[in-house]
A and B are shown apart, each in its own frame.
Chain A
Amino acid sequence: MSNIDKQRGDILLEMRDVRIDGYSDDKWHKIIKGVDLTLRRGEIMGLIGESGAGKSTLGLAAMGFARPGCKISSGTINFDGMELTTASASQCRALRGSRITYVAQSAAASFNPSHRLIDQTVEATVRHGIKPDSEARADACILYGDLQLPDPDNIGSRYPHQVSGGQLQRVMTAMAMSPRPDLIIFDEPTTALDVTTQVEVLASMREIVEKYNTAAIYITHDLAVVAQMADVIKVLRYGETVEEAETRKMLSAPEEEYTKSLWAVRSIEKEGEKNDDVILKINNVDAAYSSSVKVLHKVSIEVPRGRTVAVVGESGSGKSTTARVITGLLPPMSGDVQFNGEVLPKDLASRSKDQLRKIQMIYQMADTAMNPRHTIREIIGRPLEFYLGLRGNKRDDRLLELLHLIELDESFVDRLPSELSGGQKQRVCIARALAAEPDLIICDEVTSALDQIVQKGILELLLKLQKDLRISYLFITHDIATVRAISDEIVVMFQGAVVEQGPKSEILTPPFPDYTKLLLSSVPEMDPDWLNNLLAERQNEQTA
């Protein structure tokens, strides 16, 4: 079954020169600046763009809906002959939940905690008079089955907090499908899920829209995900269309530079290098937050000098806990951490200033890693004063050197963090770590909150710094593309234990242990056939 073969029907949704404004700080800002969109019956359109591109706003506008504080200021939105911008509130209401439905990003927050899943699933269908109550309920159970939910006949009687995040996302898809709409808007439905869960949810979503030949708008920031779902892809940036093309064409021959930058990180490929000189050695560490629940089991990791070790795993695998043990925030129950050949004291308070200086940390959210009330001068200047005793002009000279090292200039010195972009903030955090002249930097998901092009810039900077200053990195991430781009060695973690450790070339080539294989194979690739192939392969294995 291939995306191109699908029959294209007549036009279902047509948006012309839509403009949407949002109100904040006592004035109106343009969010969508004149976008055209045409969707045919049964067609799936991928709407892709980075944070702030206006994807969700545009997706909701397709339902004639604007969030509080937003307004559709001009343009036309025609849904199957009906003009939504001029339609009355009750006309729009009659459409929503019956002919157009919505799947939200955060399933946990979008379900009402007080009602059973099945009641919420059939609510719109019954209220709009599409099916009688009993019929809608029976149908919902069939949909649950279609979406591969466990125990489809009874799962509906549960409450939202009683099922997992991935299951909830499927129930929401069933809820959207229940009235058999002409159009479903998927708004980043898998972004909050782990990769291994994402694949299954993605597959079941695609299957069901194909089964009922429903048109869909699939909103995401991940091009590899949308490539599996969409017939056509539309790229948005700053509220404007960058380009629109059929999926295969978009991936093989994008016309715009910006589109290519959406998979920028995948263009970096580092040749893994070996080094036998070990700078950090974690020996058989067990750790727990409370005495009862152990989160790390006999974890041993080695980091060679001047190299990058990537620690990969899903949420809850113990990656960040490992970082806390190394830094001394969480003293281990047993085992030890050796740095430069000496055993480090277990807890932070008993480490010397020099021991602290040599291990620095960079965080995922640069926003919360910098005090919003300190200027860049204070943020980078403090470690210079604190560790190296630099003051006055000497400090400021070094500060400027560091700013140039991270490719910023002296105009940034007196800014506050809120006056920087996401990438600039992360660079300042890197400079703060560098100011201490460390041997090892722990990077905790440092690029995952950033747009692709910015990620690429940060990763290149980190690689350059490693080359020039021979710093070692312990790089915690869940993103395999990032691992390929930066690591020399890889550690795979699962449920608090190390599954595998070795040079990148070994880990990323078969044969794989089971979990590594599941993890690696679940990462979507920039190939429209990837999901089909993966499902076929997994099917074969099961029957074999």
Chain B
Amino acid sequence: MSNSKPGYTATSEVSRVRAKRTLWENIIRGLRSAPPTALFGMLVITAYVVIALFAPLIAPYGESEVFPIPYAPWSDEFLFGTDQLGRDVFTRLVYGARNTIGIAIMTTILAFTIGGGLGLVAAINQKWLDQFLSRFVDVLMAIPSLIFALMLLSIFGSSILNIILIIAVLDSTRVFRLTRAVALNVVVMDYVEAARLRGEKLGWIIRREILPNIMPTLVAEFGLRFSFVFLTIAALSFLGLGIQPPTADWGSMVRENAGLIQFAEYDITAALTPLLPAGAIALLTVAVNFVVDWFLHKTSGLRDE
């Protein structure tokens, strides 16, 4: 047996070594390379989170504190005026952040727990359970989700708990499909087969082999699903079937003050009042979509980094 010719050794093969960086350094680098849209998105999201967390400190009045003048104009006392019952619009916007975002986040988390869990199970099982779950989801998805939600709400009534449960279950179908699809791509990999041949338990395989590889996709999807859930709940509230008064909520605020838009000719600020909560909703979803767009772009190029 001849020796390898001089010059060739296993260690000398050309490979691309990444510089070792701490998590913090990676975050800084990521932020530096982020496009302005993504930075804008992150800034907006941070601002919303701060407002939601510190709502009672920021809001000048109580959430459902009623003042004697309904539809008061914008002033120093009432920054964005008062609504049809005489509640401070600015205060309700601030509390609305807390309620609307909080409910949407809880719904999304629930949807991911249900859909993600079942999607993983289906991808690994690939037999009758997968067939059953997939067909079941097909049927659920054959009914438009807003229509399904309306129907279910008419039966069970609009309470916050019902909204969270109904939207979460309906939205989990999409999470299920995605999780199953990406997990299937990972399950067929040789390294998963290698782990099975080693005799690893199912839990270990899911935790160590599959999850780390589908996480980036799921994180991005979480952002997209959050926007979608957020918009659905806002739409339901706008229709008067979502979050019920006196809880402050952006969708309902649009509905309650929509009539003001007629007076744009006389007082443009009054016409803007219903647009403020609507704009608040739009701004957040735009921000989330900007960040997700950048994240997707970044993770899809991860291999060549």
Contacts and interface: CB of A to CB of B under 8 A. Distances in A.
A353 B200 CA distance: 9
A373 B212 contact: yes
A208 interface: no
A382 B10 contact: no
Nearest to B15: A421
A350 to B, nearest CB: 11
A353 B190 CA distance: 20
A329 interface: yes
B86 to A, nearest CB: 56
Nearest to A269: B1
B13 A421 contact: yes
Contacts of A419: 15-18
Contact of B213 (A327, A351, A373): A373
A363 B190 contact: yes
Contact of B200 (A25, A386, A421, A456): A386
Contact of B1 (A373, A387, A420, A460): A460
B197 A327 contact: yes
A30 B232 CA distance: 50
Interface string B136-173: 00000000000000000000000000000000000000
A215 B210 CA distance: 51
B106 to A, nearest CB: 29
Nearest to A423: B13
Contacts of B212: 371, 373
A454 B200 contact: no
B196 interface: yes
A416 B20 CA distance: 11
A25 B4 contact: no
A460 B15 contact: no
A416 B18 contact: yes
Interface in A363-422: 363, 365, 368-374, 382-383, 386-387, 406-409, 411-412, 414-416, 418-422
A427 interface: yes
B14 A369 contact: no
Interface string A241-273: 000000000000000010001000001101000
Given A257-B5, A369-B194, A416-B18, A423 B305 contact: no
B10 A427 contact: yes
Contacts of B1: 268, 270, 460, 463
Interface residues of A, number: 55
Contacts of A351: 199
Contact of B199 (A267, A353, A407): A353
A113 interface: no
B32 to A, nearest CB: 12
A361 B194 contact: yes
B10 A361 contact: no
Contacts of A453: 8
Contact of B191 (A371, A383, A386, A416): A371
Main secondary structure of the interface of B (DSSP, over half): loop
Contacts of A371: 189, 191, 208-209, 212-213
B13 A456 contact: no
Nearest to B33: A26
A407 B197 CA distance: 26
A257 B7 contact: yes
A268 B4 CA distance: 10
B246 interface: no
A114 interface: no
A267 B5 CA distance: 11
Nearest to A456: B4
A360 B18 CA distance: 30
B22 interface: no
B198 interface: yes
Contacts of A92: none
B11 interface: yes
Interface in A453-502: 453-454, 456-457, 460-461, 463
Nearest to B8: A453
B125 to A, nearest CB: 14
A199 to B, nearest CB: 30
A360 B196 CA distance: 12
Contact of A368 (B16, B190, B199): B190
Given A348-B196, A386-B200, A407 B11 contact: yes
B25 interface: no
Nearest to A328: B197
Contacts of A460: 1, 4
Contact of A407 (B10, B15, B16, B189): B10
B68 interface: no
Given A327-B197, A353-B199, A369-B190, A424 B10 contact: yes
A24 interface: yes
B194 A363 contact: yes
A372 B190 CA distance: 11
B127 interface: no
6 contacts: A368-B190, A386-B198, A409-B11, A418-B303, A457-B10, A460-B4
Interface of A: 24-25, 257, 261, 267-268, 270, 327-329, 348, 351, 353, 356, 360-361, 363, 365, 368-374, 382-383, 386-387, 406-409, 411-412, 414-416, 418-424, 427, 432, 436, 453-454, 456-457, 460-461, 463
Given A361-B194, A371-B191, 18 more contacts: A24-B304, A327-B197, A348-B197, A361-B197, A365-B190, A368-B191, A386-B198, A407-B10, A411-B11, A418-B303, A419-B15, A419-B18, A423-B10, A427-B10, A432-B194, A457-B4, A457-B10, A460-B4
